[in-house]
Amino acid sequence: MSSIVNKYLQTPTEVGVVAVGFSGGQQKDGVDIAPQALIDSGLLTTLRDDLNYTIHHDGVVHTYTKLFPTSDPPLHVSGAKMPMLKPQTVSNATEALSSQVYEHAKEGRLVLTLGGDHSIAVGSISGVAKAVRERLDKEIAVIWVDAHADINSPQTSGSGNIHGMPVSYLCGFSSAPAENPSVFGWLEKNHLINPKKLVYIALRDVDFGEKKILRENGIKAFSMHDVDKHGIGKVMEMALEYVGDSPVHLSFDVDALDPMWAPSTGTPVRGGLTLREGDYICECVHETGLLVAMDLVEVNPNIGPRDGVDGVLGAAETVRAGSSLVRCALGESLL
């Protein structure tokens, strides 16, 4: 059990786990089987047996298929180059997830969301933001660790994939489109985050339109350039100073890690974090005692070179890396 005292959780030894087998925010199958792969690798047992957490988990990997509309055509939004893909599917799934996460967070538990693609952060972060406002009258800070900024609006997106847009919706830069107001129409003001309390780490593949959004809104970001320049130690010092004493939601996209460490992910980008640097980020966040929620997303066990015998090479490695990140954020330490 960690010796760090958590400042904001009412029951810091309890973790609410939501397993989200959802891939609708992008095009590749497989990211939906990640939660089961993480659980099968022993992640939850380790949290219980080695880190002494009480785990609240319904034992279900949620796919939300009952909530999917029978037809979900691409949504052409005014001013957009590409239509939004599976808009109602993503909206419905994240709405349900938001309530699930909210139910755990309002009890004062740490919430761990296992994805799934990164579109699910619209659900997890909104649920935590709402619960923390109600319970503590505070705004959360979000530490978004990712190769990508995921802050496209439907207008700036070059693909229409919603996993590249969650931050835009969470910041309130985008909202339900006039062409179909039921898409993310469920997002209320108390679900949103303050862009001034958002900090990125490990960015290295940011679209032109996203760079403009980051600049114009003065959003704090540490790219891989900053990690190279200052080292991960100094970057974490600066990132945590920026966060101050706000409750922290850590949203970790496994593609923040270099493909050498996490090859099985949908949009790998070379030049990323080492596994140790990723673990270090999580250890530092744990040590603050501010962590109230974590997402681990974009592990895709179907992606990677095939060896013809056991299936995908690199999948087990990526699952192990993801599992390590979660354990570090929840208090596993080297000594």
Pick from 95, 146, 258, 332 the residue near Mn ion by CB under 5 A. Answer: 146
**Residues in a beta bridge with 201:** 145, 222
Give the x/- contact pattern for Mn ion in 102-131, rule: CB under 5 A. ----------------x-------------
Task: Rank residues 150 and 332 by Cβ distance to Mn ion and give the closer one.
Answer: 150
Q: Minimum CB separation from Mn ion for residue 146, in Å?
A: 4
Residue 253 touching Mn ion (CB under 5 A):
yes
| Cβ–Cβ < 8 Å for 194, 247 | no
Cα angle for residues 107, 111, 117 (degrees, 5° grid): 145
298 catalytic? Reply is: yes
286 catalytic? Reply is: no
Binding segment toward Mn ion, per CB under 5 A, in 3-11, 32-40, 47-55, 143-151: 143-151
146 catalytic? Reply is: yes
Task: Rank residues 150 and 205 by Cβ distance to Mn ion and give the closer one.
Answer: 150
Binding segment toward Mn ion, per CB under 5 A, in 5-13, 177-185, 248-256, 310-318: 248-256
Q: Minimum CB separation from Mn ion for residue 11, in Å?
A: 29
148 catalytic? Reply is: yes
Task: Rank residues 9 and 299 by Cβ distance to Mn ion and give the closer one.
Answer: 299
Give the interface with Mn ion as residue ranges (CB under 5 A): 118, 146, 150, 253
Q: Which residues are catalytic?
A: 118, 146, 148, 150, 163, 253, 255, 298
